[in-house]
Amino acid sequence: MKITIRRGVKKDLPLVLKLIKELADYEKSLDEVTITLQDLENDGFGDRPYYQFLIAEDEKKIIGLSFYFIRYSTWKGKILHLEDFVITEEYRNKGVGSLLFKKTVAICKKLNLNAMTWQVLDWNEPAINFYKKHKADFETWLHGMLTKEQIQKMNHSEKK
Question: Where residue 66 sits, what CATH number does that domain have?
Answer: 3.40.630.30
Reduce the secondary structure of the chain to three states and give it as a string.
CCEEEEECCHHHHHHHHHHHHHHHHHCCCHHHCCCCHHHHHHHHHCCCCCCEEEEEEECCEEEEEEEEEEEEECCCEEEEEEEEEEECHHHCCCCHHHHHHHHHHHHHHHCCCCEEEECCCCCCHHHHHHHHHCCCCCCCCCCCCCCHHHHHHHHHHHHC
The pLDDT, as a whole number, for residue 64 is 98
Distance of alpha carbon 89 from alpha carbon 22, whole angstroms:
9
User: Number of structural domains, the chain?
Assistant: 1
Residues designated catalytic: 131
Predicted confidence pLDDT, tens digits, the chain (160 residues): 899 999 999 999 999 999 999 999 999 999 999 999 999 999 999 999 999 999 999 999 999 999 999 999 999 999 999 999 999 999 999 999 999 999 999 999 999 999 999 998 888 898 888 888 898 888 777 778 887 888 889 866 555 5
The pLDDT, as a whole number, for residue 141 is 76
pTM given for the model: 0.89
The pLDDT, as a whole number, for residue 159 is 56
Domain that holds residue 95: 3-159
